[in-house]
């Protein structure tokens, strides 16, 4: 066979099989990635466990602010100068870390009854 005859024939069987193998591999990898993304989305958006975590975190944060406010009571009322602005003498704002995030203050969780 000379060069002209090979060109007329097109790609050989081995080249066509390689291209087919690569195409199927890419399609399977994309489908698997889509499946993983869908599962992660469903777990993150529909999981009742996530709602419990958010609810417990919100309760704990509210407790921290309530304890902080209770420490600034004047008699039975809250100090009218209380503010959430950091750095103020009667601030209810949580202390921040060097990264700018509130410092975590461990508090007991309220048990669910």
Q: How many residues does the chain have?
A: 113
Element holding 38 (H helix, E strand): helix 13-46
Question: Is residue 25 scored above 90 in pLDDT?
Answer: yes
pLDDT of amino acid 113: 46
67: tokens are: 């304890």
pTM of the model: 0.43
pLDDT tier, 51 (very low <50, low <70, confident <90, very high otherwise): confident
């Amino acid at each position: 066979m000379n060069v002209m005859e090979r060109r007329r024939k097109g790609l050989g069987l081995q080249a066509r099989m390689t291209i087919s193998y690569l195409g199927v591999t890419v399609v399977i990898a994309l489908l698997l990635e889509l499946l993983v993304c869908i599962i992660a989305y469903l777990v993150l958006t529909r999981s009742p466990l996530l709602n419990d975590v958010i609810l417990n975190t919100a309760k704990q944060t509210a407790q921290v602010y309530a304890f902080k406010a209770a420490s600034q009571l004047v008699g039975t009322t809250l100090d009218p100068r209380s503010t959430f602005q950091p750095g103020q003498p009667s601030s209810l704002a949580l202390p921040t870390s060097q990264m700018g995030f509130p410092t975590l203050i461990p508090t007991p969780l309220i048990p669910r009854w």
